[in-house]
Structure 1
Amino acid sequence: MTPFLWFGVALRAIGVWVIVTGLELGVTGFNALRGLGEADVYVARAYFNQLVAHLVIGLVLIKFAPMIAQWAYPVVRAPVVEEEESPEA
């Protein structure tokens, strides 16, 4: 596989990981909302805010991975070399 393809796979994997961590924050927010843990420092809204941000970032990474990879690894085209005409003797 080329670096371009590996980078696209890595972006998608990071996107999935970000979504999973966002879902963990959602569960923590649900627990704080229901009073299943001590929520002295954070309120449940803060966890749900982070959940939304993680979901958006993860979905953007998954959806636009090819475009981001193309930006990071642009296609390099060989320059066109014109041949000079040799003088006829």
Structure 2
Amino acid sequence: MNAPRPLKVYPPAEERINIASHAVGLLLSIAGLLLLVARALAHGDAWQLVSVSVFGISMIMLYTASTVYHSARDPVLRRRLRTVDHASIF
């Protein structure tokens, strides 16, 4: 098994920008999910509802993982959260 890659250390200002921008992405993802679900309920069928729900929930998970990862300070927790963050991207 390979040794874990070292954690990247971001400057504090950059880390705050990462946290803020990903938190905004999270809020926009929630709003987008609500709008897409409302539209699917009004004009779509069950498959459209399922599709937009999966997409919206995936976006919420992605931005939540990223916001929490960039907010973490403990190196052990941060390493685990990095794995979750990167998994949610791909």
TM-score band by shorter chain is 0.5 to 0.7
Identical pairs, percent:
3
Runs of 4+ in 1 over 6 A off after TM superposition: none
How many residues end up aligned between the 2 structures?
Answer: 63
Counterpart in the other structure of 1:50: 55
Summarize the alignment of residues 1-89 of structure 1 with structure 2, pairs less than 5 Å apart: 4-35=11-42, 38-39=43-44, 43-65=48-70
What CA distance in whole angstroms lies between the structure 2 residues aligned with 1:16 and 1:66? 10
| TM-score (normalizing by structure 2) | 0.54
CA RMSD of aligned residues (A): 2.6
Gapped regions of structure 1 (runs ≥ 5): 71-89
What CA distance in whole angstroms lies between the structure 2 residues aligned with 1:17 and 1:50? 17
| TM-score (normalizing by structure 1) | 0.54
Q: CA deviation at 1:4?
A: 0.6
* Structure possessing the higher relative contact order (Cα contacts under 8 Å, 6 or more residues apart): 1
| Structure with greater helix share of residues | 2
